[in-house]
Structure 1
Amino acid sequence: MDTVLHYADQFVFDKLYALIWPAYTKHIAGSIVSTWPRDDVWRVCLSLYIITCVFGWLLYFITATLSYYYVFDHDYMKHPKFLKNQIRLEINCAASAVPWMTLLTLPCFAGEIFGKSLLYGDVPKTAFDWIYLILSVPSFLFFTDCGIYWFHRWMHHPRLYRYLHKLHHKWVIPTPFASHAFNPVDGFLQSLPYHLYAYFIPMHKYLYLSMFVFVNFWTVMIHDGEFISHSEIINTSAHHFVHHVYFNYNYGQYFTLWDRIGSSHRQPDNEQYDKELRIDLKTMARQARDADRIENDVLRQSKAKIQ
């Protein structure tokens, strides 16, 4: 983020802050320059907040829109659990959640800017450096997949579900626009492993930034409703569809490993992979009944735990 912030300061924020707070500016070489220093913690936080919100919205709207129009199986909109005006509701939920998720994430990004993380920017020089750089990718994926699995499963606990994760399961038949439609605290907790990685394990900052973009693409992809891959290792969109409908399965983000370890793996079957079967009205009606029964059971458990 330090490189992104540097160029944002150079081309946007130096001029922007000088215009907004003219009383705190001085003329240098005929131009107005803000006296609010770039390394001031409040300026850094404000700039990071703006950058993250803007890029978060752009990445969400671009990737989800492309996926919705070119990948998503629109036959699923005939499903009885597909809500009236669901697309608009998903978009409103996601768009309004981004600023709050950004605010919660801000200390992690600010810590990276001020050198508190283990991110580095040196160009790889030796064979070991290149091997480490390459191995950083699977390391990042396995570390974050483990963290997301346990955070996600924890939020399905009856004491927490109705307060944190229930909103995302409103979309029983999700579209790509549901990918970021979370309660902000839920969204932040599921993104936390990505930020923790940078504080626990050294990683090249450009690779880390690219993985962050990949994460957002992947989040959209597992909500795209097009079940091309039949993998038993990768947590595909079919696996995640099973999670939304049948609730207690497939909490992982990338792989099925932790679901297998935690006895929560459910492999998709012809109900997802057979096009004719998955859009059959009887199949859809049964899925709707199952989804209602499962969620009612969870909500009853939640009330019992509270009482």
Structure 2
Amino acid sequence: MDDVLSVADYYILTPYVYPASWPEDGTLRQLISLLLVTNLGAQLIYLGFAALSFYCVFDHKLMKHPQFIKNQVRREINLGTVSIFWMSFPTVALFFAEIRGYSKLYDDVSESALGWPGVLLSIAGFLFFTDMCIYWIHRSMHHKNIYKHLHKQHHIFKIPTPFASHAFHPVDGFLQSLPYHVYPFLFPLHKVVYLALFVFVNIWTISIHDGDYRLPGPLIEVINGAAHHVDHHLFFYYNYGQYFTLWDRLGGSYRHPSALLGKGPHDHIRKLTAEAAETDR
């Protein structure tokens, strides 16, 4: 994040925003800058990629499903943007610790003990670690004493659109994002790779809400895609995973996607349409 802040300082913040008396490495200035950059970046990623997915990928026929609620897209966007705003405060605290040198982020590949293979291993480690942690955090959010206070807000969207991807209670959203931020404090990670992974996980979260239930055959049993995740929204106790099905299988919560068995949301809409046509005859 210090690289992003440096670019923002050089091109915008120092020449146009802050008075000359505010040093770039000042605590207050860095906190304010991080808050601005984090909010702007996260909102742009969310709204930009969710809109792209909504208009180019999402099947709008799903909006005819009886469990698609009134004004759902507007409600998703309202909840998502507000959640990102409040989540940014604890997130900035972690980013601030990173730029102050408390993490294990590094600038140059030569600083990795294994060189480029180490960078690739760190990516695999990041995906494995975050997938594992998010599974258990997400599953804990379904505990009856927690769910009604936090995670229920996300589950009102039974047939989610890409805009539902970030539509969480802020505490719920932050806790599920925490593994991404904790990883570089525990394990070495290249700064550019970390930034790329941060963007990737946000896009991935959008993709599993995009209503495109297709997956190449061999990957169906491995990758937790939109077909798996819509069953989580519909049936509650299944498919808590983020990227993979591994932890759902180990935790006994895996469900083969109903959309791939002819029993998904599209099939339900087709059935209702056929019944309505038959009634009209």
Write the deviation string for residues 71-95 of structure 1: whole angstroms up to 9, x where unpaired.
1111110111101111111111111
Match of 1:90, SS state, is helix
d(CA) in 2 for partners of 1:49 and 1:187? Answer: 17
Give the equivalent residue in structure 2 for 1:290: none
Q: Is the 8 A contact 2:59 2:211 kept in 1?
A: yes
Give the equivalent residue in structure 2 for 1:280: 270
d(CA) in 2 for partners of 1:257 and 1:117? Answer: 28
**Equivalent residue letter for 2:227:** A
Distance verdict in 2 for CA 1:175–1:279, change over 3 Å: same
Query: How many residue pairs are counted as aligned between the two chains?
Result: 270
Larger Rg: 1
Q: Is 2:6 aligned against 1:6?
A: yes
Unaligned 5+ runs, structure 1? 19-24, 26-33, 286-307
Distance verdict in 2 for CA 1:240–1:128, change over 3 Å: same
**Equivalent residue letter for 1:5:** L
d(CA) in 2 for partners of 1:272 and 1:48? Answer: 47
> 2:235 aligned to 211, 225, 246, which one?
246
Computed over aligned residues only, the root mean square deviation of the Cα atoms, in angstroms, reads 2.0
Q: Is 2:222 aligned against 1:236?
A: no
Q: After TM superposition, give the deviation of residue 11 of structure 1 in Å.
A: 1.3
> 2:80 aligned to 73, 90, 94, which one?
94
- Any residues of structure 2 matched to 1:116-135 within 5 Å, and which? 116-124=102-110, 128-135=114-121
Unaligned 5+ runs, structure 2? 276-281
Give the equivalent residue in structure 2 for 1:169: 155
**Equivalent residue letter for 1:118:** K
TM-score by length of 2: 0.91
> 1:143 aligned to 114, 129, 140, which one?
129
Q: Is the 8 A contact 2:112 2:118 kept in 1?
A: no
d(CA) in 2 for partners of 1:212 and 1:88? Answer: 25
Match of 1:82, SS state, is coil
d(CA) in 1 for partners of 2:232 and 2:114? Answer: 40
Percent identity between matched residues is 51
d(CA) in 1 for partners of 2:208 and 2:112? Answer: 37
Instruction: Write out the 4+ residue segments of structure 1 that deviate beyond 4 Å after TM superposition.
Output: 271-276
Q: Is the 8 A contact 1:118 1:199 kept in 2?
A: yes
Q: Is the 8 A contact 1:238 1:272 kept in 2?
A: no
Give the equivalent residue in structure 2 for 1:41: 27
Q: Is the 8 A contact 1:101 1:184 kept in 2?
A: yes
**Equivalent residue letter for 1:280:** R
d(CA) in 2 for partners of 1:101 and 1:275? Answer: 31
d(CA) in 2 for partners of 1:233 and 1:279? Answer: 27
Q: Is the 8 A contact 1:90 1:177 kept in 2?
A: yes
Give the equivalent residue in structure 1 for 2:254: 265
Match of 2:175, SS state, is helix
d(CA) in 2 for partners of 1:202 and 1:127? Answer: 10
Q: Is 2:191 aligned against 1:205?
A: yes
Q: Is 2:37 aligned against 1:51?
A: yes
**Equivalent residue letter for 1:245:** L
Q: Is the 8 A contact 1:271 1:277 kept in 2?
A: no
Q: After TM superposition, give the deviation of residue 279 of structure 1 in Å.
A: 2.8
Distance verdict in 2 for CA 1:203–1:139, change over 3 Å: same
